[in-house]
Amino acid sequence: MEEALNDDSPLRVLLAGIERARKLTVWTVLALVAGTGVSWAYAREIYAFLALPLTRELAERGQDPRLVFTGLSDAFILYFTLSLLGGVIVATPILSAQIYLLVVPRIRARSAVALAAFAIAGTALFIGGMAFCYFILLPFAIAYLLDIAAQFETAITVRDFLRFTTRLLLAMGLGAQLPLVSLVAARAGIVTARSLWKWFPYAVLTAFVLAAWITPPDGMSQLLVAIPLLGLYLIGIALAALVGR
């Protein structure tokens, strides 16, 4: 039994991995709950901010910018989901740090700088991806879809707004993590720049399938999602080549 639990035994490695995953889950859930609670107090302000590209476009077209709800719980679901989104943003630094600790388990004291850099970079990339979506992708997609529906009376529900907006924001925020994930995975010896390059055709297919799923069915919107994702993937390959073993 003692031999089975030596430092390099598979059982020891498995138990250590389970313990790290448990800690990751606990800290992430705590940060998510705390962030969601704080965001709930500002749920109306978050909604007003996220809905601004839509409400502004509607107002410029002389239409009622207010959204409608068709279910009694729609408003609550809207505010809770937006609070959860705020919680995800607040929890991103802690989640990034925990993922780093999980991927690179044997961190020495001098690696604390790398841990902080990873957490900061992960948060910045996540927010940057969401900012790209909010300031560039969403206004374009909203204007395009309203142009198509110009001959109809507008009655956009809060459920449609929530599903459409959060899906785009999260997809772009998570997609922006590609360079960082590639960097850490290459540094840990999990992937190499060569293997990432060999997977590039699959990355192209995945990017366009994802773009087709989260955007309106037009080529321009899909390109606005797919091309940045592929650019981030290529940046990840370059970073993997720099730090790869």
How far is Cα 154 from Cα 149, in angstroms, rounded to an integer? 8
Domain range for 231 is 177-245
Query: Phi and psi for 199 in degrees, rounded to 5?
Result: -85, 0
Residue 183: CB atoms within 10 Å = 20
Higher pLDDT, 13 or 166: 166
pLDDT digits (tens, 9 = 90+) for 74-90: 899 999 999 999 999 98
Residue 78: the pLDDT is: 92
pLDDT in the model for residue 2: 45
* pLDDT over 60 at 138, yes or no: yes
**Residue 54 sits in the same domain as residue 107:** yes
Does 71 share its domain with 185?
no
Does residue 6 sit in the same domain as residue 59? yes
How many structural domains compose the chain? 2
Q: Residue 105 above 70 pLDDT?
A: no
Q: In terms of domains, do 201 and 116 share one? A: no
Instruction: Say yes or no: 5 and 57 in one domain.
Output: yes
Same structural domain, 73 and 188: no
Picking from 133, 149, 169, the residue at the C-terminal end of a domain is 169
Looking at residue 51, what is its pLDDT? Answer: 93
pLDDT tens digits, 57-78: 999 988 888 888 888 888 999 9
**Statement to judge: residues 132 and 94 lie in one domain:** yes
